[in-house]
Amino acid sequence: MSGREITGPLLRRELPFEAVPAEVRLLRRAVVRQLTRWGAPVALDEAELLVTELATNVVKHVGEGASASLVIEWRGERLRLEVHDESRVLPSLRDPHCGEECGRGLHLLATVAAAWGIALTAAGKAVWCEVALYGGPACLRIERAVEALEGYRGPGRVMDGGTGKGVGLEESAVELIADLLHWTAARGLDPDDVLDRAQMHYEAEVGAA
């Protein structure tokens, strides 16, 4: 599943999809891969469930085969999931003209998500929800690390089909750490001492979490 990724003040990924059950399954897997790649401290099962409900609502209520897109945004201490479609009909929690399944997805959003809502857009509407991330101050550190690694172009950076996107931040992390150790040595500092100090900072913050 292709998509467009933007890095900046927040981390953002947009994934277009067709409203059919097979695409919903692919979308769920793509979200797990993206969150794992970012290192987002979020319950993946929870995110999968919410994405499934958001996308399935498009299949059921907009129509099978409709064009839609999922936007994933990491906003500090929250993860925001938005599904955009081309219908301007707003769903509701209660509808007396449908059966027990009607509104189930919205009830689930209201129960599981930290916040949720519906907004009209120029092209149709967006149904969104937010999930609280875990880790407190660690969230900011992880977000900064991902931004740095996304823009890093070290010798071990593996490129994907000429698109300019790296496949695997772990390799970039190793290369970046090695570059930083060379930099510290070039400035007359002891690389082992720098690593020890960084490890102390990490352990202190993990212990306080």
User: Average pLDDT by consecutive 10-residue portion of the chain (209 residues)?
Assistant: 52 94 93 87 82 92 93 87 93 54 66 89 94 66 70 57 48 87 92 90 73
Whole-angstrom Cα distance, residue 130 to residue 132? 7
Topology of the domain comprising 4-132: Heat Shock Protein 90 (3.30.565)
Task: Give the CA count within 13 Å in the CB-facing half-sphere of 20.
Answer: 4
Task: Give the pLDDT score at 159.
Answer: 41
In sequence order, what E strands does the chain have? 4-7, 11-18, 67-75, 78-85, 115-120, 125-132
- CA 205 to mean position of chain CA atoms: 24
Task: Give the pLDDT score at 110.
Answer: 81
Measure the CA dihedral 18/108/92/99, to 10°: 90
Whole-angstrom Cα distance, residue 43 to residue 38? 13
Query: Domain locations in the chain?
Result: 4-132, 151-208
Task: Give the pLDDT score at 154.
Answer: 66
